[in-house]
Amino acid sequence: MAHSLIKCDLGNGERASFWYDAWCHLGPLINLTGNDGPVRFGISSQLSVADACEGNIWHLPSPRSDQERELHSFLDMFFSIRPDAGIDCYKERSNIKEWSSLIWFKGATPKHAFIMWVAYLHRLPTRDRLHAWGISTPTSCCICSASEESHVHLFLRYPFSKQVWSRVQSHLRLRPLAFHTWPSLLAWTKIKSDLAPPIIRKLACQAVVYHLWKLRNTILHNQVLFSPTAAYQEIVTEIRNTIDARKS
């Protein structure tokens, strides 16, 4: 219990456990990947954060899955170790955020939870953020070009995303609601109903966000277009499989 209340302020990374300490705002990475993370990612469970770096760059095995690639790009973008910084310090974590229940719940699919978390924090490399970091790139949405590519646009307001949300809600036999902000989405997941209890809504939310991001990357990198129906079907199949796997 105490462990879950402690965060690590990263210094030179020599004390901080790569897998088990909350040294970044994602919390302990083991929570994202599940207990088999160290084996799957080929990164020893004993490693410190400093062990996973060489100088101030990450030194990790080449990624072999989408989840590994996401983790790598996340690590590359947001963290750098400074070997000359002082020792790592452990502190009490601030209060558990209200939205954490949308991300971490028993039965969540780790790769979906991971993207949901990063998206909720607006930390995915959307074009508006790349531009803000000084990277020369168009800021227009890479799917519709009609608006700036931001998190809210991609996941909530873009007509394609709205259609996916609306079809998923119809599938749950709920009145389709449009979400214009993350808090409104969060509020929706908490509504109690026999047709679609919060756990189903949360699984659906995470699957939609994950697939919209995957789709956006596919369009960007492979210039392949999808219909909202195809996206929706993939999401429904995935949620079905998740429920089947966890029926007990």
Chain positions contacting Zn ion, by CB under 5 A:
141, 143-144, 158
Asked if 143 and 221 touch (Cβ cutoff 8 Å), the reply is no
Closest approach of Cβ 232 to Zn ion, in Å? 17
- Which residues are registered as beta bridge partners of 115? none
Give CA 172 to chain center in angstroms.
23
Closest approach of Cβ 140 to Zn ion, in Å? 8
**What's the farthest any 2 CA atoms get from each other in the chain?**
57
Closest approach of Cβ 143 to Zn ion, in Å? 5
Rank residues 10 and 215 by Cβ distance to Zn ion and give the closer one. 215
Rank residues 44 and 229 by Cβ distance to Zn ion and give the closer one. 229
Nearest 5°: CA angle at 153, between 152 and 157? 95
Phi, psi of 246 (to 5 degrees): -120, 20
Closest approach of Cβ 223 to Zn ion, in Å? 15
Nearest-CB residue for Zn ion: 141
* Signed CA dihedral, 208, 100, 150, 187: sign only: positive
Closest approach of Cβ 34 to Zn ion, in Å? 33
Rank residues 14 and 148 by Cβ distance to Zn ion and give the closer one. 148
Q: Which single residue is written with the structure tokens 């966890």?
A: 246
CA–CA distance, 247 with 139 (Å, rounded to integer): 43
Rank residues 142 and 186 by Cβ distance to Zn ion and give the closer one. 142
Rank residues 104 and 226 by Cβ distance to Zn ion and give the closer one. 226
